[in-house]
Chains A and B, each alone.
Chain A
Amino acid sequence: MLGYAEHDLEGLPFEQLLAVPSRIFYQTHVFPLLKMQHRIEEVYLTASTKFGEVVPVLVNGTRMETPEGVVNECLLVPIRRRNDFEDQILAAKRQAEEAHEAKDQLNQALHEAQRELTRQNEELKVLKGSLESQVLAQTAALRKMVQDLQGFNYSIAHDLRTPLRAILSTSAILLAEAGEALTPAHRRLLERQQHNATKLANLVQDLLDFSRLGLQEVVFARVDMSGLAHEAARSVLAEHSGTKARVIVEEGLEASGDRSMLYVVLQNLFDNAIKYSPEGGTVTFGADGDGFYVKDEGIGLAPEFAEQIFRPFERLHRDEDYAGTGIGLANVKRIVERHGGRVWVESEVGKGATFRFTLA
């Protein structure tokens, strides 16, 4: 089976038939076993054929010590197929172990990824929660601050009114009752004082309105805008007794909003329009696709000032040219915005102005 002729084998030590690794195993394991126990059973070794091919063999052997000498009788059974099967089984076992291990590793990786994801989600949730509560807390703090400021403004304006009235009434009494006794220069001084005190009183009133608008609740109801516009126009025209301007109101307009606040809006817009209208100019109140508008034929304004005029105390003209406190349009903006709407102006210098506003 190993390709040796009988005479090749004669006198050849058994070990010589084995492949190199098997020679080591023979010397370290098989020979000592034979020597000590006189027999070996089913030991797996590899033999080498005459042509150098390696053949797996099972070795059974007995050792006989005869008077002529020691004979180790070894029977070699080639186990090519058995060996192949074993190799296959071992390979399959290893493969299975590797697959199992790979599966375990995959599962573990998946598990870890899932855990990481859950952890990140939770972190995110916590972050979101803390962010939300931070935003809520800051909003509440801001709202509180704004309310405090508005309350502060209101009480200052309110408290300023009483001494102002006293100043106004004393100057009026002085002018009426002691006017003749004063020198003309002193009288002019007193008149100037009365004029300035009146101005200050107007300013304080406007400030008070402005503050009140921030604090006051918006009460929504159906409002007859055309009726309200007539009312406001009448009142404004009465204040500007010298004006030749006229107001045209489009009929049948309605809106949802706070009636008293919308009155202030129309009053201020008419006041503004009439103030800047030329002699005999027309002021029109109406509505179109862009919402309500108050249109005049006055001096108009450059587009770069379109934003500025809605800010408190921002005036484009000197008091001597056009009287005013600089609060009116700021009030308009505040009311419109509290209704959820928007106010803006369309104008060019010398070509009149159209103030437009929407209500949500």
Chain B
Amino acid sequence: MHPAYWASGNFCGYYVQIDILRRNNVKVSGRGQQPLVFAHGFGCDQNMWRFIVPAFEDRYKIVLFDYVGSGKSDLAAYDPKRYGSLEGYAADVVEIVDALDLHDVVFVGHSVSSMIGILAAQQRPDRFAKLILVGPSPCYLNDGDYKGGFERADLEGLLQMMEKNYIGWASFLAPVVMKNLEEPKLAAELEESFCSTDPIIAKRFAEATFLSDYRFVVPQVQFPCLVMQCSDDTIAPEAVGEYIHRNLPESEYRLMKATGHCPHMSHPEETIAIIDQYLSG
């Protein structure tokens, strides 16, 4: 077991020492030396990596975590100001890397975590070795010649839908809850739901993600990167993957057979193969 690592910070108005590993529900496993840090995207938590992790456990040190506000992180540590932009989430990554004293890190980030990983690595260049970006996008909004894929209205529609599914829904969910109560096991399972998130936090994470524009950071990245681009990805279209590949100083580009936005869930074998090939190459 690893010792408790502490950092100082101002949360909820109190200046306290925080157990980073508990705060971010950090799980370390694997028998290798080089750390492989897997970072989940918006809407999920570390469980989404469960189809990928076993393939690397014998050769790498696997680090899994939940961002504050997601999964089984400490919700009390949520600070709306800190997590109002991706830099706050990048600070989570930096603090975890510091707390575990990780070196030569390979960071695997899905979706928004690609940009979070880039921001974290720029802060601790001595700790990171490579970045693997799964479905990355530096900017989701269309902007002139740049086609991020979405108009502002689409993203406002998403926020509205989230409100309905999370908040406005609550009062209409009564029948569902009752149904679940008849099946206590299922109710318990739902409670444990890996996607369960506080609605207000989720909305703020969505805003920080989809309304951001980090295109300016891309050309400054000092690490070798792998861009894993899905086919028919609504959230990160191919044009965006190509854009980021073109603008990264040092990158490899793989267009996957996998469709959708979550190849590590829908097509774990292909995902594992590409990562494996990149790491051993």
Which of A's residues lie within 8 Å of B, judged by CB? 13, 15, 19-25, 27-29, 31-33, 35-37, 41-46, 86, 89-90
Q: For the complex, what is the distance from the CA of A46 to the CA of B154, rounded to whole Å?
A: 12
A29 near B234: Cβ-Cβ < 8 Å: no
Asked if B18 CB lies within 8 Å of chain A CBs, one says no
- Number of B residues whose C-beta is below 8 Å from A? 37
In the assembled complex, which residues on chain A have CB atoms less than 8 Å from the CB atom of B195? 29, 32-33, 36
Minimum C-beta distance from B223 to chain A (A): 26
Tell me whether A24 and B265 are in contact (CB under 8 A).
no
Contact residues in B for A13 (Cβ distance below 8 Å): 232, 259
B111 cross-chain contacts in A, Cβ below 8 A: 28
One of B76-84, B121-129, B162-170, B211-219 contacting the partner:
B162-170
Known: A19-B157, A32-B195, A33-B195. A44 touches B232 (CB 8 A): no
A42 to B177, CA, bound (A): 11
Residue pair A35, B266 in contact (C-beta under 8 Å): yes
> What's the least CB distance linking A183 to chain B, in Å?
116
Q: Which 4 A-B pairs have the closest CB atoms?
A: A21-B157, A28-B43, A27-B261, A21-B158
A23–B210 Cα distance when bound, in Å, is 14
B45-66: which residues lie under 8 A (CB-CB) from chain A? 47-48
* Interchain CB contact under 8 A, A32 and B161: no
Residue of B nearest to A56 (CB): B164
Query: Within the assembled complex, what's the spacing in Å between the Cα atoms of A19 and B155?
Result: 12
A32 touches B265 (CB 8 A): yes
For B194, the closest partner residue in chain A by CB is: A36
Q: Which of chain A's residues has its CB closest to B232's CB?
A: A13
- A24 with B154: CB separation less than 8 A: yes
Known: A25-B165, A32-B48. 18 other contacts (CB 8 A): A20-B150, A20-B154, A22-B157, A22-B161, A24-B210, A27-B235, A28-B261, A31-B262, A32-B194, A33-B195, A35-B265, A35-B266, A36-B195, A36-B265, A42-B173, A46-B157, A86-B164, A90-B168
Is residue B33 contacting chain A, with contact meaning CB distance below 8 A?
no
User: Which chain A residues lie closer than 8 Å to B262 at the CB level?
Assistant: 27, 31-32, 35
| Contact indicator A21/B265 (Cβ below 8 Å) | no
Question: A29 to chain B: which residues have CB within 8 Å?
Answer: 43, 165, 195
Q: A42 to B174: give the CA distance in the assembly, Å.
A: 11
Q: Collect the chain B residues with CB atoms within 8 Å of residue A45's CB.
A: 161
Distance between Cα atoms of A41 and B210 in the complex (Å): 26
Determine which of B155, B169, B235 lies in contact with A44 in the assembled complex, contact meaning CB atoms within 8 Å: B169
Partner of B44, one of A21, A32, A44: A32
Contacts of B168 in A (CB 8 A): 86, 89-90
Which of A19, A27, A45: most chain B Cβ within 10 A? A27
Tell whether, in the assembled complex, residue B235 and residue A24 are in contact, meaning their CB atoms are under 8 Å apart: yes
Interface centre among B193, B232, B234, B265 (most CB of A within 10 A): B234
Given A28-B41, A33-B195, A36-B47, A15–B165 Cβ distance below 8 Å?
no
Q: Is B176 an interface residue when CB atoms closer than 8 A count as contact?
A: yes
Q: Point out which of A24, A41, A89 has the most chain B C-beta atoms below 10 A from its C-beta.
A: A24
A31 and B263 CA atoms in complex are apart in Å by 11
Q: Which residues of B lie under 8 Å from residue A44 when comparing CB positions?
A: 161, 164-165, 169
Contact (Cβ within 8 A) B43 A21: no
Q: B261–A37 contact, CB under 8 A?
A: no
Residues of B within 8 Å of A27, CB to CB, are: 234-235, 260-262
Q: A31-B265, A36-B194 known; A21 and B165 CB under 8 Å?
A: no
Chain A residues with CB under 8 Å of B259's CB are 13
Q: Which residues of B contact A33 (CB under 8 A)?
A: 193, 195
> Measured between C-beta atoms, what is the minimum distance from A245 to chain B in Å?
105
A167: min CB distance to chain B, Å: 98
Given A37-B189, A44-B169, A31 and B194 touching (CB < 8 A)? no
Do B43 and A32 touch (CB < 8 A)? yes
Q: Residues of A contacting B41 with CB < 8 Å? A: 28
Nearest CB of A to B114, in Å = 14
- A37 to B193 alpha-carbon distance, docked (Å): 8
Q: Which residues of B contact A90 (CB under 8 A)?
A: 168
A177 to B125, CA, bound (A): 136
Q: Please determine whether A86 and B265 come into contact, CB atoms closer than 8 angstroms.
A: no
Residues of A within 8 A of B160 (CB): 21
B243 at the interface (CB under 8 A from A): no
B42 at the interface (CB under 8 A from A): yes
CB-based contact A23/B173 at 8 Å: no
Q: Which residues of A contact B48 (CB under 8 A)?
A: 32, 36
Residue of B nearest to A43 (CB): B165
A65 to B65, CA, bound (A): 28
A-B contact pairs, 29 of them (CB 8 A): A13-B232, A13-B259, A19-B157, A20-B234, A21-B160, A21-B161, A22-B161, A23-B235, A24-B150, A24-B155, A25-B161, A27-B234, A27-B261, A28-B43, A29-B195, A31-B260, A31-B262, A31-B265, A32-B265, A33-B195, A35-B262, A36-B194, A42-B173, A43-B165, A44-B169, A46-B161, A86-B164, A86-B168, A90-B168
In B175-191, which residues have CB < 8 Å from any A CB?
A: 176, 189
